[in-house]
Structure 1
Amino acid sequence: MEADRRPACYAASRIFIRAFLWPSLKTVLCDEIATIKVGEVADFGNFMGAVIDERAWRKHMRIFEEVKSSNAKILTGGRGDDKTGYFVAPTLIETDDLDRECFVRSFSDQSWRPTSIATASLNLFWRR
């Protein structure tokens, strides 16, 4: 059998974490995300390229605007640039309101965006 040679895309779009761990992990994640270089894929110094098209880029920008008008917080990223391509900065969003429409939509569609939504709770793990 021949190996699958199609490109693969992996995205950590959801982070569920116990509340007591979140403050230290948040700092580490923001610091690491800030080091990710975004730009033309021909430049091997870049880790990420543009999203696929203008429609995808606009979808990201719409979600960032919705987040800004909610009780959620963009910890890092939340920007885009469409001057020379459809680039979106890697983004980390913190929320405790996963019922908000933009988060429900983010969880239901499997678009591979450079955005992770984190929620911290004391009750993430239920006992039976």
Structure 2
Amino acid sequence: MKRAAIATGLILAASVQVATAQYLTGAPRENFIKGVVGGCMREKLKDEESKVIPNSLFERAYCRCYATTLADHIPAVELTMNSPTDTPVTRAASQTCYQSMKAEAVKLYQEGRYPKE
């Protein structure tokens, strides 16, 4: 009976830990976002298709969106232990942020405010 109570307690503790996953906050979150944005902008320079997108639009509407989405949806332990590259969360974030950037570019172009750089 005592073992069953201990096992139940461990299971409950584990489920509470999973339910309250800790995400990056404060300075660690800002540093993570800054690092991801920097890496994203370096990768932009290597990609022929992305080169035509103004840096200001790409950084704000894609890279920052992507980094923030990862920080919001991947627990801190996973972000600090490894760099998520090709997961369902990263693929969804990339697609969502790309579509958002595209929509913003169209809107800015229609308003005559498309950034030059």
| TM-score with structure 1 setting the length | 0.27
| TM-score with structure 2 setting the length | 0.28
Structure with higher strand content:
1
